[in-house]
Structure 1
Amino acid sequence: MPDLDMDALGEVEVKYRLLDPDEEALAEALAARGVVLGDRFRQDDQAYAPASWSYGMPKLGVAFARLRSEAGRVLLTVKVPRANELDCAEQETFVEDRATMHEALLLLDMVPTVRIAKFRRTGAWGKAQLCLDVVDGLGIFIELERVVPRSAAEQVQAEMDQQVRSLGLPLQRVTQTYDSLLRAAARPAEDGLLVGDPYI
């Protein structure tokens, strides 16, 4: 069972969909609050889940993995949701070979679920890391992230929620991860885990 000690550090997020698809208006509103966004870059992610798990089952306490290609490097991330999907114990490391790591995950009884492809810009807003994402098949999103003890996760998520709402833009808060949102948008007829073409 993963260590979910109340003092253990983890990543907490808040995520919002921009209802008016005007990325520059969002960037301007952030700039007015002192947020400097970096250049746009591409991320290609493949999400993995335990073979015994399927969409619709609880995620809390379950380990999920992701392989991400970005700027010629491959990042392996493992997350275990704690209080909710956007409050996770997390470990990550760079790997040399994506295809070999994919095979290793299969040996660990993980299966590929959803591919997430997006353009991302990042910046700092107060204590939070900010991500402005344009996600293929979903639209424009803003995320705030912080690494905090589990005991502070709920309070920090509430603080970041107020921070984003202060922008005064037409935003819809979402409480699911991108893979869950893409899975819901696709609504495949079959009940299996695999959605679309896995990106290896």
Structure 2
Amino acid sequence: MEVESKVLLSSDEVDAIVLRLAALGLHLGQQETQRDVYYKERGFRENVQGPGSYLVRLRYKESGTILNMKRLTESDGTWEENETRVDDGQIVEEIVRAIGAEKAVTVTKVRRQCLRDDLEIIIDEVEGMGIFLELAIETVDEPEKARDRINLFLAELEIDPSRIELRGYPTILLEQQGVRFSVK
């Protein structure tokens, strides 16, 4: 299960966050471009997406291609998640389309990240959306504890809790296209 939070940043804030991270001994890695192609079941745009709804993602990046399935839970910002590396993403996309899924959205971003224990600290420059700080923790059975740790780290970075975004990039983009989501 992945628990995540995002905060939209201005370009000035990015520099301040990088400095705060450095003061904590954390240094972001090199930039990496990622292109995420998301698929959903055919006709999904007509239905409210809620707990159990899924996205299949192919992530193309320099270090390889990853197939991922994310399933909504009853908690905003928390996804059931499974992923594996694949040799040929184009073939996987053909298979996904052949079994009836349709392309939902594509998210292209430039990512820099680092780790603090199991907390992923990410700065994403997302095409058409802006620059985001994303914090994520993989957990098996303690999403509440993971959420608390993320919120404590955001406070450590002096980020106002009212700015926290719990939706993922594909959810934000799909909602802009009129797709409805509900965690209830």
Aligning the two structures, in what range does the TM-score lie when normalised by the shorter sequence? 0.7 to 0.9
Structure 1 distance, partners of 2:93, 2:156, is 41
Aligned CA distance change for structure 1 residues 94 and 25 (closer, same or farther; 3 Å): same
Shift of 1:90: 1.3
Check if 1:38 corresponds to 2:29.
Answer: yes
Structure 2 partner of 1:73: 64
Shift of 1:52: 4.1
Shift of 1:136: 0.7
1:97 to 88, 94, 103: 88
Gaps of 5+ in 1: 1-9, 194-200
**One-letter code of the match for 2:153?**
Q
1:157 to 147, 155, 163: 147
> Are the equivalent residues in 2 in contact too, given 1:16–1:141 (CA < 8 A)?
yes
Task: Return structure 1 stretches of 4+ with deviation > 3 angstroms.
Answer: none
Structure 2 distance, partners of 1:24, 1:153, is 30
RMSD between aligned residues: 2.3
> Are the equivalent residues in 2 in contact too, given 1:16–1:173 (CA < 8 A)?
yes
> Are the equivalent residues in 1 in contact too, given 2:30–2:112 (CA < 8 A)?
yes
> Are the equivalent residues in 2 in contact too, given 1:60–1:85 (CA < 8 A)?
no
Structure 1 distance, partners of 2:136, 2:47, is 25
> Are the equivalent residues in 2 in contact too, given 1:67–1:76 (CA < 8 A)?
yes
User: What is the percent sequence identity of the aligned residues?
Assistant: 25
Structure 2 partner of 1:7: none
Check if 1:115 corresponds to 2:103.
Answer: no
**One-letter code of the match for 1:130?**
I
Shift of 1:59: 3.0
> Are the equivalent residues in 2 in contact too, given 1:85–1:177 (CA < 8 A)?
no
Check if 1:60 corresponds to 2:51.
Answer: yes
Aligned residues: 178
Counterparts of 1:135-146 in structure 2, within 5 Å, are 135-146=126-137
Structure 1 distance, partners of 2:46, 2:111, is 26
Shift of 1:159: 2.3
Structure 2 distance, partners of 1:62, 1:179, is 13
Structure 1 partner of 2:15: 24
Gaps of 5+ in 2: none
Aligned CA distance change for structure 1 residues 99 and 161 (closer, same or farther; 3 Å): same
> Are the equivalent residues in 2 in contact too, given 1:137–1:182 (CA < 8 A)?
no
Shift of 1:127: 3.2
TM-score between both structures, scaled by the size of structure 1 = 0.79
1:35-54 CA-to-partner distances (Å, cap 9, x unmatched) read 11101110011111112422
TM-score between both structures, scaled by the size of structure 2 = 0.86
**One-letter code of the match for 1:141?**
F
1:78-124 CA-to-partner distances (Å, cap 9, x unmatched) read 11122335212211111122221111111232211111000000101
Higher helix share: 2
Structure 1 distance, partners of 2:84, 2:23, is 34
**One-letter code of the match for 1:104?**
I
What secondary structure does 1:83 align onto? Answer: coil
> Are the equivalent residues in 2 in contact too, given 1:59–1:85 (CA < 8 A)?
no
**One-letter code of the match for 1:168?**
E
1:180 to 158, 167, 171: 171
